[in-house]
Each structure stands twice: as structure tokens, then as C-alpha cells.
């Protein structure tokens, strides 16, 4: 298997399914059409990543000998997609938008195995406690939000911001492991 991601969280979660995989991160620019829904966005981005890694690793091959797994995660509130923050200020803005509110975390996954391709998206609802400016500043100063969709990571200090979740916890970390396991069994079945 090939994981088309450099995320340590995705690496850890794929390790729950198999220890036999290699990391080949996608390097292309993420391009989304205007007005796309968060669910459609993560599916499209995961498809772009999987296709890029497939082309780099197996140029011109119709049937590939390995299985490629690519994923992308976004946070959405009021229909607005929040990706990774561009700056400390942007991280603070995102956290203020999420403060005291419920939002959705979407992860899209694309699997390419042999000649088969399968894509899906998982959604988890997350509710934050109301956050003070001081709490936001301390969290942003920790550096934790800078490489995470929505400017928080539930598996780290961001856990202190979360009041409740509805759905798959691992989806919020960036890879819905249980669903991925089942989808892999389906796509690899002869």
C-alpha cells in the first residue's frame, strides 16, 4: 500500500489497518472550483492526490500493482470551508468562528487498487466550548493549529476546545479508519 500523505496522524491511523505501506506524499497544488460543497471538496482533493501519486509512481500503467490511499480533511462552518491557517492571525480568526459553535469535519478518501477506484467522504459534527481571547492566543502560540484544517487538532491540545463530537473521532484526526478498513476490503475483493 501507498499512503499519499505526509501527515503523521494519517500514518498512525493507517498503521491500525496495516504496517505494510510506504509514504509518497502528493505535492500538487490543491485546486477547488468556486461554490463547491465541503463534501465534494474533500472527495475531489483526495482524487487529485491519488491521481498525482499514481502518475508519478506508475506512469502510463492502466493497472497498478499497489493500492494507493489519499485523503483530505476540511472543517466547515456555515458552509465556509476552513483549511489550514495561512498565518497565526488566520488561525485566531478560524478559532473565533468555531468558538461556542458546532461545525463539521469532512474527510474525503480515494483508494486506487489495480484498475478500481473508490472515493467516499465521512462527516463528523464537533462542538467547541466558548473560547476566550486568552485561550485562543495560548493555543495559537503553542503552534499546534498551524498545520491542521480548521486550526485545531483534536488529538493534541485542541482536545481542550472540544465540548462534544457526533461521529467518527478518527475522522476528525484526518482518516476515518473503520470506514477505510471496510472500503479496502470491498475494493480489494476479487
Residue with cell 470551508: 81
Give the pLDDT of residue 15: 96
Residues in the chain: 190
Q: Check whether 190 has a pLDDT greater than 80.
A: no
72 tagged catalytic = yes
Q: Where are the alpha helices (DSSP H) in 58-102?
A: 88-98
Q: Check whether 124 has a pLDDT greater than 90.
A: yes
Out of 72, 78, 168, 190, which one is annotated catalytic?
72
Pairing relationship of beta strands 80-82 and 116-128 according to DSSP bridges: unpaired
Q: How far apart are CA 26 and CA 48, in angstroms?
A: 9
Give the pLDDT of residue 188: 80
Mean local confidence (pLDDT), 81-110: 96
Question: pTM of the full predicted structure?
Answer: 0.93
Q: Check whether 91 has a pLDDT greater than 70.
A: yes
Per-residue pLDDT of 5-42, as tens digits, reads 999 999 999 999 999 999 999 998 877 888 899 999 99
**Do 114 and 75 meet the contact criterion of CB atoms below 8 Å apart?**
no
Neighbours of 40 (CB within 10 A): 15
Q: How far apart are CA 89 and CA 85, in angstroms?
A: 8
Helix (H, G, I), strand (E, B) or coil at 181: helix
Give the pLDDT of residue 58: 94
In CATH terms, 2-187 corresponds, of 3.40.710.10, 1.10.10.10, 2.60.40.1120, 3.90.950.10, to 3.90.950.10
Amino acid at each position: 500500500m501507498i499512503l499519499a500523505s505526509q501527515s503523521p496522524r494519517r500514518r498512525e491511523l493507517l498503521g491500525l489497518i496495516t504496517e505494510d505501506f510506504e509514504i509518497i506524499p502528493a505535492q500538487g497544488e490543491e485546486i477547488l472550483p468556486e461554490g463547491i460543497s465541503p463534501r465534494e471538496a474533500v472527495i475531489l482533493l483526495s482524487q487529485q492526490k491519488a491521481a498525482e501519486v499514481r502518475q508519478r509512481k506508475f506512469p502510463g500503467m492502466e493497472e497498478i500493482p499497489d493500492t494507493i490511499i489519499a485523503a483530505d480533511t476540511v472543517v466547515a462552518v456555515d458552509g465556509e470551508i476552513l483549511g489550514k491557517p495561512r498565518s497565526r492571525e488566520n488561525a485566531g480568526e478560524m478559532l473565533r468562528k468555531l468558538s461556542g459553535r458546532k461545525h463539521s469535519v469532512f474527510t474525503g478518501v480515494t483508494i486506487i487498487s489495480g484498475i478500481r477506484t473508490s472515493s467516499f467522504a465521512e462527516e463528523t459534527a464537533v462542538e467547541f466550548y466558548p473560547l476566550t481571547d486568552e485561550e485562543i492566543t495560548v493555543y495559537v502560540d503553542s503552534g499546534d493549529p498551524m498545520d491542521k484544517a480548521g486550526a485545531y487538532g483534536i488529538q493534541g491540545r485542541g482536545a481542550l476546545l472540544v465540548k462534544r463530537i457526533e461521529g467518527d473521532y478518527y475522522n476528525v484526526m484526518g482518516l476515518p479508519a473503520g470506514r477505510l478498513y471496510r472500503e479496502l476490503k470491498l475494493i480489494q475483493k476479487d
